Structure 1
Amino acid sequence: MSDEIKHECGLAYIRLLKPFSYYLKKYGTVMYGINKLYLLMEKQHNRGQDGAGIAAVKLDVEPGYPFLYRTRSNAQQPIADIFYKIGQEVHELEKYQSDIRQHPGLMKGHLPFMGELLLGHLRYGTQGRNMVEFCHPFIKRDNNPGKNIALAGNFNLVNTEELFDLINMDPGEFQKQSDLAAMLEVIHHFLSREDDAHPNHANIANVLKRATPLFDGGYTIGGLLGNGYSFVTRDAHGIRPAYYYIDDEVIVAASERASIRTTFNVGENEVHELMPAHALIVDDKGSHVIEKVQPPKERRACSFERIYFSRGSDEKIYRERIALGNHLSHRVLEEINYDLKNTIFSYIPNTAEVAFYGLVKGMEDYLNQRKIQRILSWGDNINPEALEELVNRKIRQEKIAIKDVKLRTFITEDTSRNEMVQHVYDITYGTVKKDSDTLVVIDDSIVRGTTLKESIVRMLARLSPKKIIVVSSAPQIRYPDCYGIDMSKLGDFIAFRAAIALLKERNMMHCLDEIYEQCKELQRNNQLHTENLVRYVYKPFTTEEISNKIAELITPPDLQIPVQVIYQTIEDLHDSCPTNTGDWYFTGNYPTPGGNRVVNRAFIHFMEGKNMRGY
């Protein structure tokens, strides 16, 4: 993705079902669980690089001794930082007893994170707060083991304030800033009631049945209790992903299927999706159930997971990204007037590479059809030289853009910063025939368009192509996300700015004032959640009109080379990714009422010149 957006988070959960001595005998290490947790988190590092944290619960601990541990880091490489420190603790123990790794009981007694229950989390600071205090897991301590809880998740909630009101709690300043804090307090509230009725053996399903329907947002959350119970649960629309794997040694859950498959070397069919509105609940003995904890709603799994966020090593996601690129091939062929001889195809590194393969596959299919038609038209009059030339004709592919090591600029002056941004990418010189080749580059999606304008388009123009076509494997991003992706300000979106520019050109700016007044009226009546009024900003224009205006906006004013933008259609998106139909950032069809409230509030902020999030 050319425009970096902070997104998602990653969850990793492990419940060991055997004694530590079992893993020592079979795998040669008592640290099997910790090692697997590290791999499970590292294989999801794409999901969060602002911070990380882990929690562990030890079973059968003598009364009076600690049983719940947590550590977090917001270092530059937080996963490595956490597990390096654990390694240092082991080395310290070895100073006193060199063979301590061969003694499971001693290791469990002296190494804090040698627990049977493990919870890991990777974080992107979607709320813009990257202090270590905001890293998951959060913990709530109590004298009663069953009321101790560590909680982490991949989510955003849009009704945090209401949650505190529901449990009659006056939150502190820190809690007001964290939706996880609100979620933790709500779950702990119902956990305490349940535990009071059944001391140290609370019915976790009942707790989740009372708590989760109150959460407006998309989420996958995992929790560890001090008495050895644990759970992973998913929102009713299935917005955020969750997968699990169970055998006689471990119970595992994570945000991505591929991370489980790689970490535990298991087949695709052995890793299951945790269905929306359900929870994986494990008791203190290691017995598990999959239970529905709220009424399932229409499946609206996030399509951005398939377009960009999740790792493409998952075979289904790989095929879907191929399909996304392939669907665009026909429109690209039309725009280049089927002139493959004078067209070069490339991609914006690195995540658009798979969609690029799909786009090229579409071009190859067309070219092969043309070859067959040409050969058949010759009949018996086949010229060997012409045949050789035809057979050897290929789609021209080049790695045009090269993403350099991340440039860090400490210069705050805008002009100097823009100069630095131009060099985030570099080009491969000598690949384009000057003034005769059309250059087609595919990107995952276009959010703000800033990097395209200030870096990529300028860079591509140095090769002097006849025309530059930027292709997006995602549709136009028009609306904020509020379920875990840091896209919350309308003014940041190039599609929104294009619509505003068109309104201005056509003397229709009064429409913005009318929409603003309607939003304020809904706000006065506490009805912001009832309708997405921002749709009316786009209603006067066709998708093509907005695409053409976006092309103008991402073209540097001094550039003479024509630039065009082609977007994926909503229909082809759903055809490519049939199980992930959540498309609110493209269509404005939010799965929960809070989404409408967020988009309308974001518009109010835009009109009032407030540079702040809509939730």
Structure 2
Amino acid sequence: MEPLKHECGVAMIRLLKPLDYYQKKYGTWMYGLNKLYLLMEKQHNRGQEGAGLACVKLAANPGEEYMFRERALGSGAITEIFSTVQSHFKDLTPEQLADAGYAEKCLPFAGEVYMGHLRYSTTGKSGLTYVHPFLRRNNWRAKNLALCGNFNLTNVDEIFARITAMGQHPRKYADTYIMLEQVGHRLDREVERLFNLAEAEGLTGMDITHYIEEHVDLANVLRTSSKDWDGGYVMCGLTGSGESFAVRDPWGIRSAFWYQDDEIAVLASERPVIQTVLNVPTTSIRELQPGQAIFISKAGRLRTVQINKPRELRPCSFERIYFSRGSDMDIYRERKLLGEKLVPSILKAVNYDIEHTVFSFIPNTAEVAFYGMLQGLDEYLNEEKVKQIAALGHNPSHDELERILSRRIRSEKVAIKDIKLRTFIAEGNTRNDLAAHVYDITYGSLEPGVDNLVIIDDSIVRGTTLRQSIIGILDRLNPKKIVIVSSSPQVRYPDYYGIDMARMSEFIAFKAAIELLRDRDMKDVIAAAYRKAKAQADLPKEQMVNYVKDIYAPFTDDEIAAKMVELLKPESVRAKVQIVYQPLQGLHEACPHHPGDWYFSGNYPTPGGVKLLNRAFIDYIEQVYQF
């Protein structure tokens, strides 16, 4: 209901033919640039705070620019950066614009290697300097590096201390800058190694440059620079000499997919994006495996290499529930199954009163789960009809059959997303009053005082929109009972791998558990968890334990959900309200290949996640309590 800040999105393109080939076949040498625009626009859901692109020309002469970058801020950043690129071509004659040779020699962004990025800040740091791709410039073409990624490192402090002890001086204390320095440092060493080999073979001048660019081994660069990275990431990069690469974290937390034919090689954060942009079948697209990297050489040769040993597989389940496009065939099926698995709990919540219940969804991300819920309800109702018909005996009357067969699941589009609040709106009560109008309702969609209203959402994290808008606006329909259904389990723990959920105070589930401990005079549980967390604050992250689990341990899911209702239900609401959550088991049954569930279970895939959780819990307790 309240939008999570999404993970970032990446896109890479390597043209495998000369620009003139695309001019002749597709009528434009901008084929790669146009495909990059589509790949980025189709992933716009993953980033609305900024966007950037980088391009490398493979055949530039000394003294000619060969590496280009454009970045912009805001939800319109994609349009802005591509408009800026196109502005370089606006004064060309039609003949010049159709001349691939002229473009390759004279025009910026007329290259064969492209990389794009969509940014959503997960650190609170903003501004153009934090928008990817990041550049590391050098007078040697092979040492130039552009990096972008979908990631969050949990051990930035350790890496920063290590590389500064070596004498490096990162420009900023941010994981992207630090990763840029690490990869750049190892790239420098690799180029210098090859320079010495070339000299030893008697090469001089440009022959040395060509030798370096033909032999550079980026697999070795990534092995040495990424071995200590703790976190979830897909990191993409280009070198000035035309090498491109992408590497995935060894836990498989973040995802990436790639495709290659004889014309083009492409990588993106989501599979259906590649399917749509290139019009290729699912079966032709491959997933980058955990710990694996993909490399495309200056000559256009593609290879995959296992860079880091795969760890326990923990791909992010929130990708399936919320972030990725539902047009992916597997994600669509999984989201439907998430809705279907909630049916037993929903029926219990409405006391099996199908005749007097209207089913709906919160637009727009919960729509697919809604269809799955309806399918499960239809199956339940059909089973009930079979039982009722069988109970009539062998000669039921027409009226009896008609009465049974006419029973239907009642579904309506009850909630309508009406406006998007802007940041310039006043704070305080004025803002809260306006927030109540983010959603509107379809009046007359249920019978007042008689019908229950069941409305499904994909997740309930903070509960802000529930409290400020949803529950109150739904109550205007005067339902007997409002059942809010979450297709995901209770979000209890922060994420530290690329989603903007990092503070304990944000989670309504955590607030509910703390309130229950207070209500039941169990504050000693809070104090004990704090003491244990504080005692391990200086331990190596590998030895840390998640003691926040102790906060939830005394209570059932239903008890916490009931407390959430108390915290979220406005006093003016007349209807009875209940919140129903997906059980953790239901999540794993619906998404069996994405077991990364740390948001719900607290089982972090890396030691760095536990370390940052420990710090967040200590900070929360010390701000609220005096221990």
Q: Which category describes the TM-score, using the shorter chain as reference length?
A: over 0.9
| Pair 123,529 (structure 1): closer, same or farther in 2 beyond 3 Å | farther
CA distance in 2, matches of 1:223, 1:373: 62
CA distance in 2, matches of 1:608, 1:172: 34
Alpha-carbon contact 2:533-2:614 (below 8 Å) kept: yes
Deviating more after overlay: 391-400 vs 284-293:
391-400
Aligned ranges 1:519-538 → 2 under 5 Å: 519-526=533-540, 530-538=544-552
CA distance in 1, matches of 2:169, 2:49: 24
Per the alignment, residue 53 of structure 1 pairs with: 52
Amino acid at match of 2:25: K
Alpha-carbon contact 2:256-2:269 (below 8 Å) kept: yes
| Pair 171,402 (structure 1): closer, same or farther in 2 beyond 3 Å | farther
| Cα deviation, residue 101, structure 1 | 2.1
| Cα deviation, residue 517, structure 1 | 2.1
Amino acid at match of 1:470: I
Q: Secondary structure at the match of 2:51?
A: strand
- 1:408 counterpart (419, 422, 432): 422
Q: CA-atom RMSD, angstroms?
A: 1.6
CA distance in 2, matches of 1:601, 1:129: 19
Alpha-carbon contact 2:170-2:178 (below 8 Å) kept: no
| Pair 606,189 (structure 1): closer, same or farther in 2 beyond 3 Å | same
CA distance in 1, matches of 2:11, 2:540: 38
| Cα deviation, residue 528, structure 1 | 8.2
1:594 is aligned to 2:593: no
Alpha-carbon contact 2:471-2:573 (below 8 Å) kept: no
Alpha-carbon contact 1:234-1:276 (below 8 Å) kept: yes
Aligned residue-pair number: 606
- 1:143 counterpart (139, 143, 148): 139
Per the alignment, residue 480 of structure 1 pairs with: 494
| Cα deviation, residue 109, structure 1 | 2.5
Per the alignment, residue 95 of structure 2 pairs with: 99
| Cα deviation, residue 529, structure 1 | 5.7
Q: Secondary structure at the match of 1:373?
A: helix
1:284 is aligned to 2:281: no
- 1:434 counterpart (448, 452, 472): 448
| Cα deviation, residue 171, structure 1 | 7.3
1:299 is aligned to 2:313: yes
Q: Secondary structure at the match of 1:62?
A: coil
Per the alignment, residue 10 of structure 2 pairs with: 11
Per the alignment, residue 198 of structure 1 pairs with: 194
CA distance in 2, matches of 1:143, 1:425: 55
CA distance in 2, matches of 1:374, 1:83: 63
| Cα deviation, residue 527, structure 1 | 5.2
- 2:121 counterpart (125, 136, 159): 125
Per the alignment, residue 35 of structure 2 pairs with: 36
| Pair 486,520 (structure 1): closer, same or farther in 2 beyond 3 Å | same
1:375 is aligned to 2:389: yes
Alpha-carbon contact 1:529-1:595 (below 8 Å) kept: no
Amino acid at match of 1:139: L
1:605 is aligned to 2:619: yes
- 1:258 counterpart (263, 268, 272): 272
1:566 is aligned to 2:580: yes
Aligned ranges 1:333-348 → 2 under 5 Å: 333-348=347-362
- 1:184 counterpart (148, 168, 180): 180
Per the alignment, residue 70 of structure 2 pairs with: 71
CA distance in 1, matches of 2:408, 2:80: 48
Per the alignment, residue 613 of structure 1 pairs with: none
1:241 is aligned to 2:240: no
Alpha-carbon contact 1:552-1:563 (below 8 Å) kept: no
Alpha-carbon contact 2:314-2:594 (below 8 Å) kept: yes
Deviating more after overlay: 369-378 vs 341-350:
369-378
| Cα deviation, residue 378, structure 1 | 2.3
What do residues 542-570 of structure 1 show as CA deviations (whole Å, max 9, x unaligned)? 11111111122121123231110111111
Q: If the length of structure 2 is used for normalisation, what is the TM-score?
A: 0.94
- Show structure 2 runs of 5+ residues with no match: 196-211
CA distance in 2, matches of 1:462, 1:118: 52
CA distance in 1, matches of 2:425, 2:40: 34
Per the alignment, residue 329 of structure 2 pairs with: 315
Alpha-carbon contact 2:6-2:45 (below 8 Å) kept: no
- Show structure 1 runs of 5+ residues with no match: 611-615
1:582 is aligned to 2:596: yes
Amino acid at match of 1:508: M
Per the alignment, residue 134 of structure 1 pairs with: 130
| Pair 484,194 (structure 1): closer, same or farther in 2 beyond 3 Å | same
Alpha-carbon contact 1:529-1:594 (below 8 Å) kept: no
Amino acid at match of 2:115: L
- 1:513 counterpart (516, 522, 527): 527
Amino acid at match of 1:158: T
Per the alignment, residue 150 of structure 2 pairs with: 154
Alpha-carbon contact 2:16-2:262 (below 8 Å) kept: yes
What do residues 422-470 of structure 1 show as CA deviations (whole Å, max 9, x unaligned)? 0000000001111110100001000000100110000000000000000
CA distance in 2, matches of 1:186, 1:405: 44
1:331 is aligned to 2:345: yes
CA distance in 2, matches of 1:601, 1:364: 47
Per the alignment, residue 24 of structure 1 pairs with: 23
CA distance in 1, matches of 2:474, 2:56: 54
Amino acid at match of 2:532: Q
Per the alignment, residue 84 of structure 1 pairs with: 83
Q: Taking every aligned residue pair, what percent have the same amino acid on both sides?
A: 49
- 1:455 counterpart (469, 472, 497): 469
1:175 is aligned to 2:172: yes
| Cα deviation, residue 110, structure 1 | 2.9
CA distance in 1, matches of 2:256, 2:50: 20
1:228 is aligned to 2:228: no
Amino acid at match of 2:360: S
CA distance in 1, matches of 2:383, 2:349: 19
Alpha-carbon contact 2:46-2:120 (below 8 Å) kept: yes
Per the alignment, residue 166 of structure 1 pairs with: 162
